[in-house]
Amino acid sequence: MKKLGDTYQTALVTGGTSGLGLAFCKMLVEEGVETFSASRQPSKLPSLSGLHGLKIDLSDLPALSSFANQFIEDHGVPDLLINNAGYGAFFEWGDFPEEEIAGQIGVMLQAPALLCRIFAPQMEKRGKGGIINVSSLAVQYPLPYFSMYNAAKAGLSALSASLIIEYHRQAPFVIDFRPGDFCTSFNEASKRDSLESGDAVSTIWKTMDRRLSQAKSPVQAARKLRAALIRGKSGIVYAGDFLQAGLGPAFHRLLPHRCLVSFLRYYHGFKPSTWFK
Using only C-alpha atoms, what is the Rg of the chain?
A: 19
From the list 208, 218, 215, 217, the residue with the least C-alpha distance to 188 is 208
The residue-averaged pLDDT of 248-276 equals 79
Report d(CA 212, CA 210) in Å as an integer. 5
Report d(CA 65, CA 114) in Å as an integer. 7
| Highest CATH level, class, for 4-274 | alpha beta
Q: How is the chain split into domains, by residue range? A: 4-274
At 245, is the pLDDT very low, low, confident or very high (cuts 50, 70, 90)? confident
Report d(CA 34, CA 53) in Å as an integer. 11
At 277, is the pLDDT very low, low, confident or very high (cuts 50, 70, 90)? very low
3-state secondary structure of 173: strand
Digit-coded pLDDT (tens) for 151-204: 999 999 999 999 999 999 999 999 999 999 999 999 989 999 887 766 888 888
The whole-number pLDDT of residue 273 equals 52
Q: Write down the mean pLDDT value for the chain.
A: 93
The residue-averaged pLDDT of 38-44 equals 95
Report d(CA 255, CA 75) in Å as an integer. 48
Report d(CA 11, CA 29) in Å as an integer. 9
Report d(CA 116, CA 123) in Å as an integer. 10
pTM reported for the whole predicted model: 0.94
Asked if the model's pLDDT at residue 66 lies above 90, the reply is yes
3-state secondary structure 203-248: HHHHHHHHHHHCCECHHHHHHHHHHHHHHCCCEEEEECCHHHHHHH
Digit-coded pLDDT (tens) for 86-128: 999 999 999 999 999 999 999 999 999 999 999 999 999 999 9
Report d(CA 259, CA 185) in Å as an integer. 31
Least confident of 6-20, 127-141, 168-182, 251-265: 251-265
